[in-house]
Chain A
């Protein structure tokens, strides 16, 4: 599970995990992981997610200066919920679209089985 290898190819069985943490306050409810099931996405949506992951992977893990910045953890699981890849990026370094997906992941059909806090 290494971010240096680039993002894996998403299949219909893939599950994308998104979690957001940090910022001026740590709020456990907002930091909970959210999941996007590729089997509930259209081909076009899956292609968009793939492009966003590829972009984030190209940017890579780098820390940004300052304080109260927010981080976005990205993870991909295969069909049996085994993590196959993960990456942590500064939220303002990645596309706005990933944040829109994070917001969407709150609601059906993307996150019916959201898991609890760690």
Chain B
């Protein structure tokens, strides 16, 4: 058995720096995290993952069922190389883990979440009528939905890949999960979530739907998905769910204390920038725009508390390094950040 390298979610020095800052809301949140993280680190020793994959290019997957409890990881149902279980949630999760591994390996030569072959672990049938999917710091967790508004969360491949990408981010920039850094964290999870789906379906930028979570809503919901990367703010408008609150431009940036400072709200802005760049470049989005975003995600200069401008500037630099400083890719990326009001 090999233990997964557990990293603190915020390094104590950064927390102390935020705690000394003038923004009271940020400060309160930082104090809370500083306090809580000690508890988490104390427990972290107990978290062990099954052995990972020693062969680059091959994943190790394990799908478990929580049997409608909230016990993690639950009972193991299907592991790498085993036949389909016949349980749609289990088999969708297994396929989704594979498709996510495939994009990261084939497009970016990344060997699982940590680039060291870490086992991919998912639990399905979590909780009762549970309408969410999340990354718990070491594995993905999927609910079956309530059947009223939400279907089971494994239906959407991009959501599976979204959750796994949180694991990649945790091993790389470890962007703070609040405010603009948190919105970048969310946006990267959407970008690579969408790219996994496009890669799996062999789609070019024109045929991709650029939606996040299509298929999750039941017929009773007036909406097509959780988010739209092409047109943030238009994914749903429903009496019970309310209206999609995502902005697509800095002039509509939402200042809020909800949702960790709007991490799932303001992510619409960088999402739309990615869509803009990908559409301008054409072809397969993972080949150029996706490569630039990946290079930025793993760039050591990407600080944990980066804001949109810092991230955008790094994408420009990476576009120049990989595709030429006078090239079409760098120009398209620059134009995309201008279009959403992040760069001038």
Contact = CB atoms under 8 A, between A and B. Distances in A.
B37 to A, nearest CB: 7
Nearest to A95: B70
B245 A68 contact: no
The number of chain A residues touching the other chain, given as a range, is 20 to 34
Contacts of B136: 64-66, 69
For the residues of B in contact with A, the DSSP-based class is: mixed
A24 B127 contact: no
Contact of B32 (A27, A29, A63, A118): A63
Given A64-B40, A67-B177, A96-B127, A24 B240 contact: no
Contacts of B153: 24
Nearest to A62: B36
Contact of B264 (A24, A62, A117): A24
A34 B33 CA distance: 27
Interface string A48-60: 0000000000000
A70 to B, nearest CB: 6
B83 to A, nearest CB: 30
A92 B70 contact: yes
A24 B245 contact: no
A27 B241 contact: yes
Nearest to A70: B132
Nearest to B238: A29
Contact of A24 (B132, B169, B177): B132
Contacts of A77: none
B133 interface: yes
A22 B166 contact: no
Interface stretch (B199-207, B255-263, B295-303): B255-263
A27 to B, nearest CB: 5
A86 to B, nearest CB: 13
A30 interface: yes
B9 A30 contact: no
B245 A28 contact: yes
A99 B40 CA distance: 24
Interface in A18-61: 21-32, 61
Contacts of A31: 242, 258-259
Given A24-B226, A25-B264, A66 B33 contact: no
B304 interface: no
B301 to A, nearest CB: 22
Given A24-B213, A28-B242, A29-B240, A67 B226 contact: no
B166 A67 contact: yes
Given A23-B264, A28-B241, A64-B36, 18 more contacts: A24-B132, A24-B133, A25-B226, A26-B245, A26-B259, A28-B242, A29-B241, A30-B242, A31-B259, A63-B32, A64-B136, A64-B137, A67-B135, A68-B132, A68-B134, A68-B166, A92-B127, A96-B128
